[in-house]
Structure formats: structure tokens, C-alpha cells
Chain A
Amino acid sequence: MRLPGLVLPVLLVSAVACGGGAPSGSEDGGAIDINGAGATFPYPIYSKWFFEYHALRPDVRINYQSIGSGGGIRQLTNRTVFFGASDGPMTEDQIAAAPGAILHLPTVLGAVVPIYNVPGLAADLRFDGTLLADIYLGTVTKWNDPAIARLNPGVALPADDIVVVHRSDGSGTTFVFVDFLSKVSPAFRERVGVATAVSWPTGVGGKGNEGVAGLVSQTPGSIGYVELVYAEQNRIAHGAVRNAAGAFIRASPAAVTAAAAEAAANMPADFRVSITNAPGEAAYPIASFTWLLLYEQPEDKARSRAMVEFMRWALTDGQQHCEALGYAPLPPEVVSLELAALERVAVS
């Protein structure tokens, strides 16, 4: 009669031992399960890619969770996921902390847009880097502030408080946004700096691009920053931003491609490059590559093979899904550099 009480834990222990001890079996009835995590910025296109690719190759299931770029880097370093994704390239320290060489593979280009929820506006708002920096520093606090009125002549602005919304998690979207603000505003560089997670002087934190878009669409008088697709899919107003050449540009795939033109011609070997505040009359200033992060020598070769095959597909056929989701496809010269770099990933 005492047996049931004792047999159960023994079974459990052995189940844990077998399950945990096995080399995280990727072969599950012939299917290959690959886990990845990271940036929310490319989440819409990644989830589209993994969905489409699963239809194409039913044996490959790539599970991607958008936990933020900081998280992607962390979990990749801990090897709790097979691949990571980030909108900010890994820092030298982070690369040194990783247990193996990591390949940065640009997948698409995206734009971060300032979104706002100001009821009753007649026209789309225009911003420049200094103004956005001042709003996020908490020095501009009302929607009818002269600094906003000056850039938006003829727009009737309400006297409401500005509710600043930023990310509460580590985020590549934040990285791209503060990278731009720090380039144009010395005060912002001094006070906040550039990283995937920063110490904000003011505002409300939302988790993920989804969280920030959710907060802004729910909160009258708010301003936030999200990846373009989140603004478009939710029909949240987003403003034009003044670029380095002085033109006000609304984010679009073409304007992002224009921003990437110079970087594409001078791509460094490790693909880690910033394209915010890019020169060029048509360039949208808050644009970035987003990277998928892979170990060059992964332990699990079956997964590695599947992942490399997927990457080849994503860099070529996969690029056709970009524009519908508000991303800019990679310039062809970058694609060919990457296809060559993929050879470095060990598959057998």
C-alpha cells in the first residue's frame, strides 16, 4: 500500500533524468524543432517567414518568441535558444561573453516611427531629432509647446500633457531610437546614452513593440516609438521626421532603402553597422538593419543545417514578404555577402 507514494517520485526522477539528460533532442518524429528568441522589431516578418517556411517544409518548425533584443542576446549567450535576434548589434563585451563566435546576419531593414495619440488633429505631425529628444528627456511636456508648434505651422495643437511611452524591456527598437536621438542631441547622449535598455528620465514603460503600440492606442495624449509595421497595422498616427539633409520624411520601405544605400556600399565584414541619421535627401533617419544571430559552430548539426537552409530561403525568396509588412528588402549586394558568410556556419 505504501508503493504508490514511492513509485511516483521514482518515475518522475527518471523521467526528468532521461528528458533532461538527452542532448536536447531535435529529432521528434522526424521533425526539427528550432527555438529562437529576441527582437520584437522584426517579429511580424519573422512570424510570417516561419509560418510560410513551415508550409514549405513541414518537417521544420521554427518557434520564435519576441522577448526583446536584450533577451535574444542573453538567451543566445546562455544557449537556451538556438538562435537570437537583435536590432542593435552585440557590443564587444557581449561578444566576448558569448561561449562561441557569433555571426550577425542582417535579415531585413526597418524603420522606427514616432507614434502619437492626439485626438482631433487635422494633419500628421512633423518631428525632428532634437524635439523627440526633448520630449523623451521630459523638457517638452505639453502638446502645444512652441517647439512642436514651430515644426507644425497651421496645426491646432491641444494644451494637453504629453504622455511619454517607452519600452520597459531591453529592446533593439529602443537601441535604434536612442542611437538616432543621441546622434542629434548632445543633451540626450549625455543624459541617457545608447543601449538596448536605458534609464528613461520620464514616461511609462510598455513591454515589447506590441506593448508600446497598445499603450499609445489606449492612452489619449501619448507619444511612443515603434517599428513601422506596428503603427501601420494598428492605424496609429505616425509622424514625419527631419533627416540629416533637412527634409521631413515619412517612413516607408523606399525611404529606408535610401537610408541603407551608403552602408550597403561599405558593409563591414561583421555586418555590424548603424544607419540612423543617414545622409541622402530621401533617407528616413530612424532606420536600421535587424540581425539574426547564429553561432558559427553550433553543437546540434541537424538544427544548424535546417537553419542555414532557412536563412538561404529568407535572404532570397523570403524577401518578397517585406514590403507588405512595411519592411525594406535587403540591398542585393548585402544578400550576396551574407550568402557567402553563411558558409562559415558548421552544418556537419
Chain B
Amino acid sequence: MIPLIIGITFISFIIIQLAPGSYLDQLKMNPQISKETIKKLEEAYGLDKPLLVQYFMWLVNALRFDLGYSFSYHVPVTQLIWERIGNTLFLSITSAVIAWFLAIPLGIWAALKPNSIIDKFIQLFSFTFMSIPNFFLAFLLLFVAVKTGAFPTGGAVSPDYEQMSFWEKLGDRLWHVSLPAFVLGISSLAGLVRLVRSTMIESLNSEYVLFARAKGLPEREVIFKHALKNALNPFITLLGFEIASLLSGAALIEIIVNWPGMGMLMLDAVLSQDLYLVMGGLYIGAIMLIIGNLIADILLAKLDPRVRQREIEGVLR
């Protein structure tokens, strides 16, 4: 895990250094800024040292979550990311909740009656929305939103947000998140439903389900306790990926619907070569991935005794 973080950050460092010019080059073009000031800035940001030294300076600080200063905003990167991360997490968690809470019951429903009308309908739905690019779906919904005025078309809160009571604030936030969350939710729902359906069908056709039925267990118990529980494993792994993509998965949609989250911040940072901001974003993204994988591994071991067994054997060997 640690080598992974070092690898990711090192490669991103190299990539950004490869980019022609740097943020200071833009300042050098400005005749009002003297050479001495630029020199001072270079020293302050450690840009006059060799590349490897720069990288290690950054890494040592990053382990303490001190991600350096942003060139263009002149505030600590941690603070910038902290301001935006809440919005991004709010959006991606809402959409993930929509997707997972609909996908599992719908997938089970489709799997229980394969090739019935309901199943066909769910399949059609998932195929359609799997193929609609989510930025296009966002455009379509923005079009509807402008025409009907039912949804806000940008921002995370209304202008008079500060004057609202707690419940109004909550409602306002939910109202603003609804459009992008729907777009993201429905796209990932489409893929998830197909996966739930196929794993459930496989599980329902297996011998342990046949046995459970033969034992005379009520159908409810067969489905939820035997079939579903055994079909869960791939989804735990997926859940790990889901956590990993909480920060970056929504980036494009955020940019399109003007959601004040990490996406816009990172796009600007990359375009203006704001070195430490980009590094910070990638670093936190990588940490999210590792946390996601860790949670998935723990959940897998908790739910599946076979995984536990394997782990114990691995330790003993």
C-alpha cells in the first residue's frame, strides 16, 4: 500500500514537471513583478532545488497532510481541498446511495423472473442508460431543468442559503444535488442492475439454493439468506471501487453542471499548472482508493468465511 502511494505521487510529480513551463513562468511575464520577488517565491516553494529533493520534501510533508501552498490561490492546498471535498462527497455519496439502493432490489426482482416482462424492461432500461454518456444525460436534464424551472442549473446552494433554517438548508441542498446526483446515480445503477441480475440468477440456479428449497424453507429465506448472501462477494469488491471513485468519479459532471466540487478545482489546477494542488488532488484520490480497498477486504473477510480461512492460512505459511 505504501509503495503504491509513493509510486502514484512520484509519477504524478514527474508528469507535472514534464509539462512545459511552470506557474512561475506566468508571473515572469508580468513586468510588475521583479526578478527578486520571483527568486524569493522560488525559494519559498522550494522550486530551486533538484527534482528529487523537491519530491521528497513534498512527500515528507504530505505524510503529515501538509500538502503545500497553491500558487494561484495563495492558500494551503489542504484548505482548498477541504473547502471543496464536502460538496463532492455529498454529491457522490447521494448518487451512490441512489444507485445501490435501487440496483439491489431491481436486480433481484429481475433475477427472480428471468425473461418476464419486468426482467425485459429492467434489461432494456439498464442497456439504454449504460450507453447514454453521462455528460449527455446531464445536458438533457439541464435542458429539462431550464424549460421547466423545476431544478436549479448550477451551484450547490441558493443565494439566500445563509438566511435559511436548518431544515430549509437541508432541503435546499437536496434540491440542488438532485440533478447531478440523478445523472450519476442512474448511470451507475444501469451497470449495477445487470451485475446483480446475473450473479443472482447464477446463485439461484446453484445447488445450495435447490437444497434450501428442498428443505422446505420459505421462499423469502431462500432468496435473502441463501441466494443473496452467496452472491454478495463481487459487490463488496465493487463497493471498494465505489469508495475509491467518490472523489474523482463525478468530476466531469461537476464541471458540466457547475457543481463547486473537486472537479472544477482540479481542471483549473491542471490548466494553470498549479503543481501542489494537482499533487494534493491525486494524493487524496490515491488515499481514497486505498481506504476503499481496505474496507472491501475487511467486509469480504467478515462476510465470507472462505476468505477468512485463506487469510489465516496465508499468515501461518
Q: Do A and B come from one complex?
A: no
Q: Which residues of A contact B (CB under 8 A)?
A: none
